[in-house]
């Protein structure tokens, strides 16, 4: 079970917030491959750039668009009948990385991307990567919902997220900075 975010944050660090967000639990899911093969919902295609390598697997999560629910335990969200989606996808050996997640309906959503490099289903802030639609440098602070917001229209949508990894004392940032 995932604990509330407040219990995991130590000094408000990004690493703790990402460790929380990347911990697996039961969720309403699209197909494991992230292609949106199952009908229903509104498709959001996410192009991923700046990956450190082609190891492990990829994850997208879709949260309600408010600070209270963003990065919150999905079990609690489901108990309160709040929408949440998660997909896992294998890492392609080469080429463009494009994932798809289905929003329950058109509107504004908060999106989290993680690169699970070691395949352990738990965020390792020393190795794993993360990113949000704003592509702002994450640094060391807990991500804000405004960094993760995306509008998914009735016809779906497409965004690009730049992966970020721990870069010393400055916290998380893209590799090409």
Spell out the domain ranges in the chain: 5-167
At residue 159, what are phi and psi to the nearest 5 degrees?
-135, 165
Lowest-confidence pick of 22-26, 43-47, 78-82, 168-172: 22-26
pLDDT above 60 (res 13): no
Lowest-confidence pick of 27-31, 71-75, 154-158: 27-31
Q: Mean pLDDT of all residues in the chain?
A: 83
* pLDDT at residue 38, rounded to an integer: 67
Q: How confident is the model at residue 26 (pLDDT cuts 50, 70, 90)?
A: very low
Query: What is the average pLDDT across 102-131?
Result: 93
Residue whose structure tokens are 């917030």: 17
Query: In 3D, which of 101, 6, 9 has the Cα closest to residue 48?
Result: 101
Query: In 3D, which of 91, 79, 71, 81 has the Cα closest to residue 144?
Result: 71
Distance CA 105, CA 41 (A): 6
Q: How confident is the model at residue 105 (pLDDT cuts 50, 70, 90)?
A: very high
Query: What is the average pLDDT across 74-90?
Result: 94
pLDDT above 90 (res 6): no
Lowest-confidence pick of 9-13, 37-41, 157-161: 9-13
Neighbouring CB atoms inside 10 A of 176's CB total 7
What six digits make up the tokens of 137? 């440098």
* pLDDT at residue 8, rounded to an integer: 28
């Amino acid at each position: 079970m995932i604990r509330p975010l407040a219990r995991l944050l130590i000094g408000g660090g990004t690493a703790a917030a990402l460790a929380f967000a990347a911990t697996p639990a039961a969720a309403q899911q699209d197909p494991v491959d992230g292609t949106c093969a199952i009908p229903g919902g509104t498709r959001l295609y996410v192009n991923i750039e700046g990956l450190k390598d082609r190891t492990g697997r990829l994850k997208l999560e879709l949260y309600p668009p408010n600070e209270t629910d963003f990065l919150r335990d999905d079990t609690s969200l489901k108990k309160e009948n709040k929408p949440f989606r998660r997909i896992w996808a294998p890492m392609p050996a080469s080429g463009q990385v494009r994932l798809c997640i289905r929003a329950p309906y058109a509107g504004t959503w908060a999106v989290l991307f993680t690169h699970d490099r070691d395949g352990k289903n738990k965020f390792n802030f020393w190795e794993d990567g993360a990113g949000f639609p704003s592509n702002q440098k994450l640094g060391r602070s807990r991500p804000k919902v405004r960094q993760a917001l995306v509008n998914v229209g009735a016809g779906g949508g497409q965004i690009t997220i730049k992966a970020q990894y721990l870069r010393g004392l400055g916290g998380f940032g893209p590799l090409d900075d």
